[in-house]
Structure 1
Amino acid sequence: MKLNGTILYSCVDDEKEEEETAESETSPPPPASIVVGYALTSKKKKSFLKPKFIRLARNKGIQFVPIDLRRALSEQGPFNVVLHKLEGKDWSQAIEDYQRLHPEVTVVDPPSAIQHLRNRQSMLEVVVDLKLPESYVVKPLVVDGSVKSHALFLAYDHISLSELEAPMVLQEFINHSGVLFKVFIVGESIKVVRRFSLPDVTERDISRISGVFGFPRVSGADSSADDVDLDPAVAELPPQPLLEIIARELHHRLGLRLFNIDIIRQKGTKDLYYIIDINYFPGYGKMPEYEHIFTDFLVSLAQSKCIE
């Protein structure tokens, strides 16, 4: 997918916890005018619904209400927005049925759209045609949030692939100076952070090394490269117009409002970028200023429904 410089595809991921202490309240919050029903895993709830975020939302008239999974969704609410990140056919069917019964409620996001990112093959098909490379990044096909699904390997030859468990996805390894750009999308808002990534592979490595090498999970919040003294050519962020085009195009193709994309710039180039991963509802708690960006997003959803 060429966009103002070549955009191709390859691979990497995220998701960890952060702690935040509560601050004292300074004034009573206004009554809730936007009710957000949420269905999140305990891990996502802990990393996303932090005290500071909850207080800011309350001050903007937003109330978060947990959805009881033991009861029919149609019996709960009323909600202005339903925010969810759960898996399973039963849950997907419940959300789709609820959308039909309550078209006035904004569901973020439709299960059918999220499904594209549960499988790395369908994820890849959204952005690029695959080609046969010299070395490979290897990841499991299914993306289910488990430790196993985040496994990452570098294979230096075809024969070594037999050592890995199928099904898997092969992605071309691109030297990128060990830095990736994690681009968070929240509706129309875009926020970019730098993260350390996999080290470069030299021609000498390819000629001398064989086999498969596993890597620890990369690009998490603890691998931030934002405050590190990097070569300016490496640290330079992708141009904002390019990011806006990519975000708009993926929003159109995927039908999602909440996702992040990992982008790398090929070493030695100025405008040759690769999309290496896409994640639904990523770890926004690790995104700078996420509290303000996300509450503004929820307010805009409610206002757009009022206009309709």
Structure 2
Amino acid sequence: MQLNGVSAHSCVDEEKEEVEESEISPPTRVVVGYALTSKKKKSFLQPNLILLARSKGIQFVSIDIKRPLSEQGPFDIVIHKLTEKEWSQVIEAYRREHPEVTVLDPPDAIQHVYNRQSMLEDIADLKLPDSYGKVCIPKQLVISTDPTSIPDEVTKAGLRVPLVVKPLVVDGSAKSHELFLAYDLFSLSEMEPPMVLQEFVNHGGVLFKVYVVGESIKVVRRFSLPDIAKCDLSTSSGVFPFPRVSCAAASAEDVDLDPSIAELPPRPLLEGLARELRHCLGLRLFNIDMIRQKGTKDLYYVIDINYFPGYGKMPEYEHIFTDFLLNLVQSKYDQIPVA
């Protein structure tokens, strides 16, 4: 059958191709739902990010946690950082019911790095090549109950003072970020379990913060605790709180430092570490706190991993994050088979 010189079969084929093309083309607007604390909203959703995102067709939409999530949207991507158990159940159910939506990240994977014991054990299990340096974790011990037994347990475990004392669980509260430095074992009996004790490693007072956004990484220097000399140990005792030294105000980027201390870890080492952790943790948004042992060129320690960290402190985070969101959507549509 001919229609104006063109077969009906040909018209149907062309129409089918147009439908298939429209089905696999990424949307011109990307809707990103977010469920964040007010503090995280303020630090992350800065005006520059919102304006750049808008220019790229990305719209951020606040999720109302008091309403059913399935009634909101539709979303292309959901980002979240809430620690309540109820929310974890809500977002997990939503992931199962809406596989077409990219959820950053799975709640079970997030919970895994909220435990300081399990987060670092993953590092110890990684099989990284030593070509560009060795990545370790500090010797550590978990104290679950009975602080009076700490001196004996520390001695049995072979740990030496000074020790960094950290709460075992990172639950988003200010208390979960309260860190202490213990100069003697008996003062540790005053601390409240559960907690993690880590051997302090001298590192020249500089910390490397490695931000991971999907496959992109950005590393910056931050000031950290100063080195502790043996003479300090012989004259000091007690447990002392120390500030959150890795905040933006403690940037060590534009300071004249000893090159042996300031030199960033090799890029291939960071890329390999980030790649292995993405696979191992099942996360795409996190940062790694690393130090280099003083007096060495290539011995590094990972001392913390944080989920959805303060990206607002990362240089060029607006461009990196918006490109990441667009690539997520594009890759999803690229995976749809063409009939």
Q: TM-score, normalised by structure 1?
A: 0.88
CA distance in structure 2 between the partners assigned to 1:99 and 1:214 by the alignment: 40
Identify the structure with bigger relative contact order (alpha carbons < 8 Å, sequence gap 6+): 1
Moved more, 208-217 or 56-65: 208-217
Contact 1:185/1:259 (8 A) holds in 2: yes
Letter in 2 for 1:107: V
Deviation at 1:167? 1.1
* Pairs within 5 Å for 1:37-48: 37-48=33-44
Gaps (5+ residues) in structure 1? 1-30
Q: 1:62 aligns with which of 54, 58, 62?
A: 58
Q: 1:184 aligns with which of 204, 208, 211?
A: 211
Q: 2:77 aligns with which of 70, 75, 81?
A: 81
> Quick one: percent identity of the two aligned structures?
73
Greater than 6 Å deviation, 4+ residue runs: none
Contact 2:206/2:224 (8 A) holds in 1: yes
CA distance in structure 2 between the partners assigned to 1:212 and 1:68 by the alignment: 42
Moved more, 229-238 or 147-156: 147-156
1:52 paired to 2:53? no
Contact 1:134/1:156 (8 A) holds in 2: no
* Pairs within 5 Å for 1:112-127: 112-127=108-123
CA distance in structure 2 between the partners assigned to 1:265 and 1:150 by the alignment: 22
1:106 corresponding residue in structure 2: 102
Larger Rg: 2
1:230 paired to 2:257? yes
SS at match of 2:188: helix
Deviation at 1:32? 5.4
2:222 corresponding residue in structure 1: 195
Deviation at 1:124? 2.2
1:134 corresponding residue in structure 2: 160
Letter in 1 for 2:73: G
Gaps (5+ residues) in structure 2? 1-26, 125-136, 141-157
Spell out, residue by residue over 1:232-268, the C-alpha distance to the aligned partner (whole angstroms, 9 max, x if none). Answer: 1111000000001110111111100000001000001
2:271 corresponding residue in structure 1: 244
Q: What is the CA RMSD across the aligned residues, in angstroms?
A: 1.3
Deviation at 1:154? 1.1
SS at match of 1:210: coil
Aligned residues: 278
* Structure (1 or 2) with the greater helix fraction: 2
CA distance in structure 2 between the partners assigned to 1:148 and 1:70 by the alignment: 26
Letter in 1 for 2:265: P
Contact 2:83/2:172 (8 A) holds in 1: no
Deviation at 1:120? 1.1
